[in-house]
Amino acid sequence: GDSVTQMEGPVTLSEEACLTINCTYTATGYPSLFWYVQYPGEGLQLLLKATKADDKGSNKGFEATYRKETTSFHLEKGSVQVSDSAVYFCALSDRNTGKLIFGQGTTLQVKP
């Protein structure tokens, strides 16, 4: 079945460091891809998405490009802030059902 694999955390960075969180997927067909973020004690918020190959999603300085050839959707940010500390989830969506399949989540901790 469809699946999503994320790099294991926690990831600990200093403020202004570069971030990459790897995400690869296995799917039949052409799913939409998402990054959700979960701040402590809160629900999941959509961070960005891409719906077809080579699309780049971006929001709040984060970017991810839908790479069909490598089945990847890595999350990147050039300069992280303490406020970016959260759990990040990569997910794919079955286009017909809308069901989301999540990776296991990657905890990011940014230190001042």
- The residues that touch another protein, with contacts defined as CB under 8 A, are 34, 36, 42-46, 49, 89, 93-100, 102, 104-105
CB of 67 to another protein, least distance (A): 20
Measured from the CB atom, is 35 or 84 closer to another protein? Answer: 35
CB of 108 to another protein, least distance (A): 16
Measured from the CB atom, is 16 or 42 closer to another protein? Answer: 42
CB of 10 to another protein, least distance (A): 13
CA–CA distance, 77 with 66 (Å, rounded to integer): 16
Tokens of 81: 């802030």
Nearest to 91 by CA among 9, 10, 6: 6
CA–centroid distance for 5 within its chain: 10
CA–CA distance, 44 with 60 (Å, rounded to integer): 16
Measured from the CB atom, is 36 or 62 closer to another protein? Answer: 36
CB of 5 to another protein, least distance (A): 12
Tokens of 84: 């970016």
How many Cα atoms occupy the beta-carbon half-sphere of 21 within 13 Å? 33
